[in-house]
Chain A
Amino acid sequence: DGGITQSPKYLFRKEGQNVTLSCEQNLNHDAMYWYRQDPGQGLRLIYYSQIVNDFQKGDIAEGYSVSREKKESFPLTVTSAQKNPTAFYLCASSSGAHEQFFGPGTRLTVL
C-alpha cells in the first residue's frame, strides 16, 4: 500500500547527542515536509523540500538539518544545537499544490 512511514515511533536522546528521524514515502510525491507539534502551539514547519537535492528552511529550522538525496526519503537530524527538542515530529508529502499526506509521527524525548 502507498503511504508515508516514519521511524522510530519513540526516540530518546541524551543531551548533546544528534539524532536522526526517518521519513520514507512511496506515493511518488515531489514535495516533503517536516513539522514539529507541541501542545497549544499547533504544527510548525521545520524544513520542506520541493524536489530532490533541494530544501528550504521553514519557520523554526534552527537546530535541525535535512537532506533530500532520494525522492522517497527526507530524513531530519535534530542536532545538539536544538535546545528544546522534546516534541512530536510529523513528516508529510504532497504532489504539487495539493493536500499533504502525513506519516504516523515520531515522539522525541530528551533525557
Chain B
Amino acid sequence: SQELEQSPQSLIVQEGKNLTINCTSSKTLYGLYWYKQKYGEGLIFLMMLQKGGEEKSHEKITAKLDEKKQQSSLHITASQPSHAGIYLCGADTMNSGGYQKVTFGIGTKLQVIP
C-alpha cells in the first residue's frame, strides 16, 4: 500500500520567513494533493500536481512534484499568521476494486509567530 511521509511533523517560523514542507511517497505518485486544515475544521484544497516537474502557485504558496514523481514540496514565501495550520498531502491510489481513493500523510503543523 502507498505510504506518505511528511516532514517536518511540526514547524515554528517567524512571520516573514520562508519555509518548505516535504511529502515523500513509497511509490510513484500519479496525483498529489495539498490541503490545509485549521484545528477542528475541514480540509481546504490548495493544489493538485500530476506531472513530473510540475509546479503550481497560489498566492504565496508554491507546490512542486519532482521529476521522479516520488516527492512533493510545498513552499511558503514570506509567511504570515494566516498561513498557520496543518498541511496535509494526499496521493491517488487505486484499490483492488478499481476505484480511485486518496491516501493522506499525517500532516505538518505550522505555527507562524508574529
Chain A residues close to B by CB (< 8 Å): 4, 6, 33, 35, 40-43, 45, 48, 50, 56, 58, 88, 90, 92, 97-105, 107
Contact = CB atoms under 8 A, between A and B. Distances in A.
The winner among B43, B90, B106 for most chain A CB atoms within 10 A is B43
Contacts of A41: 106
B40 A42 contact: no
Contacts of A101: 45
A105 B37 CA distance: 11
Interface of B: 31, 33, 35, 40-45, 48, 88, 90, 92, 95, 97, 99-102, 104-107
Chain B binding surface, main DSSP class: strand
A41 B31 CA distance: 21
Contacts of A100: 33, 43, 45, 90, 102
A48 B42 contact: no
A42 B88 contact: yes
